[in-house]
Structure 1
Amino acid sequence: MTRSERLAEQLDWHWRENLRPRLDGLTDEEYFWEPVRDCWSIRPRGRSTAPGPRGSGEWTMDSAPPAPATAPTPAPAPAPVTTIAWRLAHIIVSCLGYRVAWYFGGQDVDSRTFAYAGTAGEALKQLDEMYERWNAGVRGLSDIDLDRPPAVGPERYPLENRVLHVNRELIHHGAEVSLLRDLYRRQDGAVPRRI
């Protein structure tokens, strides 16, 4: 097995055995479920109350505009809790989409112009498509490619480092989505016990 195949397989095993099966049957109600007040989500255009929503289509992603280095960030602190819809959009665009374009010459993806999904089914289709592009791109890398910094994008570390970072991000955010699904399914109004 080549280095690139090992890197791809690390994530692909998790994708096939853990994350993707956990997303089967995701409903629109779960996708948009807000477990607490003031969550960030994907919303119909014009309905966001976040300071800088992103997206070009009928749906936008709650967001805050990036702050200049010399100014305090306008993002809420602490960061808002996010819905499954927001988390999936983050995986599709920020974790995978940008990097597919930067590293493998795919179609440019930009959070300001991306057409975010207004249904769970549409989001899963976007996720599957972007994951397949990522996985194929990683599998096609040579050892020389992995040792060099990427030619495009802000990162200047070896590409192998960037691949490991994306793998970690997808596993991390996928676990968050899985936990939100567990919490959604277990809503029973029970009062937490004090120990």
Structure 2
Amino acid sequence: MEIDWNAEVVEQLHSHWQDRLRPRLDGLTDDELFWLPVSSAQPAENREPVTTIAWRLTHLIEGLGPPTIPHFKPTTAAPPFVDFGSSAREALHQLDEAYEAWIADVRHLGPTGLAQPQGLLSPSPFADFPLARKVMYVHVEVIHHGAEVCLLRDLYAARSSNGASL
């Protein structure tokens, strides 16, 4: 049986996006976007800070890359400045644009493109690794941080009636 690895890699993220993550983001409010889930976002001893949904969406938008430039063609130009949304509506619009551009570029790679070395697209230790590894890393980031966003939405919905943090 011949496997179309490009189709499999695309489907990995696309099905997660369509069926799990993106529907859970519908109705996101500005209050949720900037809600601090603990009384202080400062890290406890030897722990990372607990951050907002806004931070996680920004991280996803950055990880998926700017929608205005090709994702898999090396460039010496500085990446364009991204003014991240100051509202849930703007942030979700930016996330949707970043996702659509990313998944379109992954689709265009094809099996041959996935097998090409990362080269100048990545730091030198990864230059000889196939693009497939970079693509899968980005997909894991979207799945991981997307799950965190969903958890924060659940915690926001379950917070005490006075709106206090946990």
User: Normalising to structure 2: TM-score of the pair?
Assistant: 0.80
Aligned to 1:137: 105
Higher relative contact order (CA 8 A, sep 6+): 2
Residues 29 and 7 (structure 1), Cα distance of their counterparts in 2 relative to 1, 3 Å cut = same
Residues 80 and 165 (structure 1), Cα distance of their counterparts in 2 relative to 1, 3 Å cut = same
Aligned to 1:52: none
Residue among 50, 61, 65 paired with 1:92:
61
- 1:134-184 per-position Cα deviation (integer Å, ceiling 9, x unaligned): 100111112221112123232322111111111111000000000000000
Flag as ranges the 4+ runs of structure 1 deviating above 3 A: 98-102, 104-110
C-alpha contact 1:102 1:153 (8 A) present in aligned 2:
no
Which amino acid in 1 is paired with 2:111?
Answer: D
Residue among 126, 137, 148 paired with 1:165:
137
Which amino acid in 1 is paired with 2:15?
Answer: W
- Aligned residue pair count: 151
SS of the aligned residue for 1:144 comes to helix
- 1:115-137 per-position Cα deviation (integer Å, ceiling 9, x unaligned): 11100000000000000011001
SS of the aligned residue for 1:17 comes to helix
- 1:70-125 per-position Cα deviation (integer Å, ceiling 9, x unaligned): xxxxxx953211100000000001x2116975425799646xx3211100000000
Residue among 2, 5, 26 paired with 2:4:
2
Percent identical = 46
In structure 1, how many angstroms separate the alpha carbons of the residues matched to 2:86 and 2:149?
Answer: 17
Q: What 5-or-longer segments of structure 2 have no aligned partner?
A: 162-166
Q: What 5-or-longer segments of structure 1 have no aligned partner?
A: 41-75, 190-195
In structure 1, how many angstroms separate the alpha carbons of the residues matched to 2:10 and 2:157?
Answer: 32
Aligned to 1:178: 150
In structure 2, how many angstroms separate the alpha carbons of the residues matched to 1:139 and 1:102?
Answer: 11
SS of the aligned residue for 2:101 comes to helix
